[in-house]
Every structure is written in C-alpha cells, then in structure tokens.
Chains A and B, each alone.
Chain A
C-alpha cells in the first residue's frame, strides 16, 4: 500500500490508495469531505464549468476543483463569480451551449440566485445543470437556517439529498444525466455536517465532457410570456416522470422492520442518525429519502403497515408538512411540528435517540469554569484599526448609526468594538444606510468588505449616488474574501475606479492604510466625510493578515 499527501492552502487533501486488490481492479478510494466528493463526482461526471461565490459550507467544492490537476488539464472552468446570481446565470449559459455545469452556493446564496434559478426550471436545460445548495441548520456560520429543498420543490425540479459522502459523489456524477433526461436543473442539497465531514469515497469511470451544441429549439431559452407558458406546461407534464424517477430511485429505499408501531421516514443524513442508534438494524420499517419529490410508493406502503409515523429531516419540516395530510387519517405523525424533535437546529444521534424513546445517558452539565470563546477579528487585522477610528469619530453623533454587512468585519459587533448595528444580507449595509438617512438618521454609516461590495454593494451605492444620500460608505478592503478562507476578491485593485464610475465625486473617495500609526489620519478623514452632506466612500486598504502570511510562505517556498 502506498499513499501520498500534500498540503494545499493549509488544508489537507489526503489521497489514499487502498489495498492491492483495489489496485488490481483499478479502483481508487479517496478520503474526501462531502464538498470535495461533490466536486470529484462532477469532474468524473463530465462537467465543463463550476460557478460559485464562496459561502460556508459550500466553499470547498470550488477550492477542490481549483486545486485539481485534472480540472486544469481538461480545461474545466473554475473561477469564482461575483455573486451567486451571476454564477447560476453563467451555468445556465454553459448548459445552453450544450455542456454540463454546476453552480454551488450556501443556502442564503440561493436567495441571491433565486430569479435565475427558478426561471432555469422554465427554460429547461441543454447540457446538464446541477445547482448545489449547502444548508446550515443550527446556523454555524449563517444568519438563518432556511431549507433549500423548499426552493427545489417550488421550482418543480428533482432534488437529491445525499446521506453520506459516497452518495454525494454519486449524485454529482449522475446529476447531469438526470438533468438532461428530464430537461430540468437538478438541485443537490447538503447540510453542514456532510459538507465538512470526511469519509472514504469510491470513484466511478470518468465520463467525457459534452461537445458544444445549441439547443434544438432556438427559442427554448427565450422566456417571453407565450414561450414561457408553453415551457411551463412542459415542465408540469414532466412532473409525472420526475415523480416516477423518485419512486424508482436507488437513493430511495423501503427497509422493512418487524415492529410496525412506528414507521420512520429518514431524509438525507437523518438516516445516519437513525441507523447509528440501532447499529444498522432498525427494528421499525424505514423509508430512506434521498431523492425528491417524495417517493409516494414507499410512503403508501409505510402508511398501510405502520401505526404511527416519525419523520427525521435535517432542516425545516418540509416532508413532515407534505405528509401530515397524507398520513393524518387516524395515524399520528411525529416530527418537528409536534415537538417530538426540536423545531430548529440540526439533528444529531442523541436528539434522534430521544425521539425514538431510547435510553440516553444522563446529560452532563458543562462546568461553570468553561467560558464562551466566540470568534474574533485576528490580532493585527486592518478591520480592527477601522473600528477603533470609527468608534472615536462617531462619539459626538451618538450610537446606533452603523449598518454593516457579511464578512469578517461583522465580528465588529462583538466586544471590544461593539461597533455595528446591523448585518442582514450581502450588500444591505449601504442600502440600509440610505433608508435610515431618509428617515432622518444623518449621518448614517455603512461598513462593507471589498468582496461583499462587488457581490451586492455596487447597485446600492448607485442608489445612494442618484439621490445624493448623506451617508459614509466604508469599504474595508482586505483584498480577499476573508471569512471563507481567503478566496480571490473581484474588487481587488478596482474599488476606487468602480466608485468613481458609479458617480461618487472623486474628492469624496478617500483612502488610508488602517494601521495603528495612521490612526490620526483615519480619524481626520472620517470626520471630514461625516461632515459632508452627500455620498462619501472611505476605503481603508490593507491586505488580510492571513492571506499575507500565506503568500509570504508561498514566496519563501518558491
């Protein structure tokens, strides 16, 4: 046996060749995160383009592709997009041209992309199109725990929800074909635990990429009302086949058990937590769901055979809602709605054990000695210097006027800075400042990062310019997408020109280097711009210390 491993961007990708038998069979098993399994599945399934904006827990799909030699050799596209909407649109474009494309994003990214995404179900596809939605129940790194399956359900497309890393690989691999077969995008929905957990994955034979080919119907992608109505009818007609595919899917299973008191519906990784509690031998009948729409055949059987139903889903109670009327003919449906499972947060083996009435060890309380250790801005980070100056400058104006955004600088909400009053969605800092200023909160301040600015801040700044809002927009520029681990920022080296181009007066686009020694300069600039009755942009510019350290290390090696 041999193995080799290497460090990539401080992450470990361990490639493991298994036993000699496997070698003989020319089979290879890799130890992959769920995210990485999806990337490899797409590569082996004949993808031509990955499109994404970084967002936990989806980021590692693109990173894996970017570090893959195979991707480079095959000329597979894998650069970051400005935001999730541009990513999905680029993927639709590649599908139009006949090739296979994937767009990956975190759950709230699907909101940003929703216009393109929902309409892509109406255009249908030419080359296969898989959209990966990485949900974050328990909000480990997110502002909500919305469940992307609702989007897939609403768009009338098949959803695949792997229960383990192998299925994640297989579904990415097969997803393009499902998409092409039924002429719809396919949603691949995962949650944080699978995205960021590693296990052995067996690879399949590699498929070739599609060749360039235009859609047979030149108007397929022209969603004028008359054409959209026709396409939509086709999509509705296709539902029967999509349902049939779910009923017959190998990812959906009916697993019989002797005790018919409860029938269990286990979705995605909920299946693992169930099986964990019974060491793989569940005494109750189980319907494992990993492909949607829900498999009616298996569920009908479960309804006929079992006295009551328990539904396990890692996310919001979508299936439970769908099944309540289906099962509520004298049979109790247990799940998140009736309190058998908590209404919010991710599942785990202990929660599932309790729902099944199994014995769980008595809860041990964590000692009072243990304190919370919240994340914080790195020591030496430029955002720190920005908040020190801003807090000082705003004192005479009073509290409650700083609207911020999504990135490392959101940590300015915590002590010692307590510097910001909002974080809602990508880009909302600038536009919320406009609204607050309209209401009379003058001056209002926006704090946004460079990558978030080009993601969704530019259009808001244009709004501000058009009405000459009395706001100060601080674009805290660390020249990277920091919170997700330092991906390239579209804004790098372009912020001044973008702001000027959008119509901000060059006299009111100010820059400084956020360092302790420049504190006085920063204070002076901010004071002057707060006093100005119009749109100001202040750009503190200093590279993220994490990426700076990384490039220094890389330079040393080279």
Chain B
C-alpha cells in the first residue's frame, strides 16, 4: 500500500491540520510516513504545499516525483491547478471551489473550474458552504479531508480517529462538528464515484 498526496493551499488555510490527521491515522496503523512542509516566507499569504507520503514499506524521498501523486488535495481551486505536473496519470484531484483571492490578477473562478472539469478524475466541492451548513466555516479543511478519504487507502474510521485526536483538547462540541464535516465531505465524494 502506498499513497502519495500533494496538499495545496494558501498560507494559513489549514493544510497542515489535514496532513496531521492523515499522519496520525497512518502512524496508528503502523504505516511509514514522510511529510514535507513549507515554512518561512511563503507562509505570508503565498502558495504553500505539503508532500504527504504514506506506505507500508520504507519511504525514501521526502518529495513526490513529478507525475507521481495519487491525489492532489487543494483547499483552493487555483492551487489545485498549480500542482498538476505532480499528478499521476490516473490520479485524483480533489478541490474546494471557494477561491482565496489575495492577488490583483486572480483569474475568473469559472475559468479555473473549466480547467479542472477537463481532468478525468476529480471531486469538486464547495467545502466552505458545506462547512457553514454544518455550523462552522472553519471546518472547511476537514470537509476537504473527508472528500479525500475514499482515496487514501485508509478506512474512514481511522481518519475519524485521527480527527478526534487532533481536536480532543478543544472540547466535545468541536470534535463532533469536525466529525460531521469529515462525513459530509466523505459522503459527497462517495456519491460522485
């Protein structure tokens, strides 16, 4: 078993929380894990990514080769397109549709989505809206994690445990909210398969 994931977004959007939840589930299942993050200058509103690799065999490279990612998980639609050179031929793009517009020349969202629609394997969802409907706009990244869960090679219950562990200290309500968010994303992706 091996899953290579590129997480894409903008500094501050919570991709490291997604990575941590998957990471916990992976280690809990005695899998190997490598996770490269971006720290420093780009965190100031620049594009950021994390290379997350989980496997039942030892992993060598901290970076995923071009054309090697099973999943691109983007919490922002333009960032999904940025990492396409890394996607495997039959890999999945799972992206949020809500743009993070902090540059003067941000493209029309329709044009971005048109490009994503061209891809053979994709899950496209408005995670921000789904999170709001559940009761917390901040859980949008966990909705995205849910939408990626059918492709991770780990059962939903294990990811759920990871999310629980991450939010445990913030109280039961927060845990429950995030589990709901996870399931909403999961159900959405499942309905598209």
Contact = CB atoms under 8 A, between A and B. Distances in A.
Q: Bound pair: A and B?
A: yes
Interface of A: 1, 3-7, 11-12, 14, 16, 18-19, 31, 33, 56-57, 59-60, 140-141, 193-194, 196-200, 269, 271-273, 275-277, 280, 348-350, 353, 360-361, 363-367, 369-378, 408, 411, 415, 483-485
A366 B84 contact: yes
Interface stretch (B26-34, B135-143, B173-181): B26-34
Interface residues of B, number: 59
A376 B165 CA distance: 33
B46 interface: yes
Contacts of B10: 373
Contact of A196 (B37, B111, B115): B37
A361 B61 contact: no
A361 B66 contact: yes
A57 B61 contact: no
A16 to B, nearest CB: 5
A19 B27 CA distance: 10
Contact of B89 (A57, A361, A378): A361
Given A16-B24, A197-B37, A366-B85, A375 B16 contact: no
Contacts of B17: 12
A370 B63 CA distance: 22
Contact of B23 (A198, A272, A280, A365): A198
B65 A483 contact: no
A365 B78 CA distance: 14
Interface of chain B, helix or strand or loop or mixed? Answer: mixed
Contacts of B191: none
B39 to A, nearest CB: 5
Nearest to B87: A364
Contact of A272 (B38, B39, B62, B87): B62
A56 B39 CA distance: 7
Contact of A349 (B41, B65, B85): B65
B44 A483 contact: yes
B30 A18 contact: yes
Interface stretch (B100-108, B123-131, B149-157, B182-190): B100-108
Given A360-B67, A361-B89, A273 B33 contact: no
A131 B161 CA distance: 40
Nearest to A348: B63
A167 to B, nearest CB: 13
A197 B89 contact: no
A367 B115 contact: yes
B132 interface: no
B63 A198 contact: no
A56 B40 contact: yes
A369 B78 CA distance: 8
Interface in B51-79: 51, 58-68, 78-79
B170 to A, nearest CB: 9
B35 interface: yes
30 contacts: A3-B24, A3-B27, A7-B169, A12-B16, A141-B39, A193-B36, A193-B63, A196-B37, A196-B39, A199-B33, A273-B63, A276-B60, A349-B65, A350-B65, A360-B66, A361-B89, A364-B85, A369-B81, A370-B78, A370-B81, A371-B78, A371-B105, A371-B107, A372-B103, A373-B10, A373-B45, A373-B103, A375-B11, A375-B42, A485-B39
Given A280-B58, A375-B44, A199 B35 contact: yes
A116 to B, nearest CB: 25
A14 B30 contact: no
A361 B27 CA distance: 31
Most chain A CB neighbours (cut-off 10 Å) among B60, B68, B78, B106: B60
Contacts of A273: 60-61, 63
A349 B69 CA distance: 13
Contacts of A198: 23, 33-37
Given A60-B39, A361-B67, A376-B102, A197 B33 contact: no
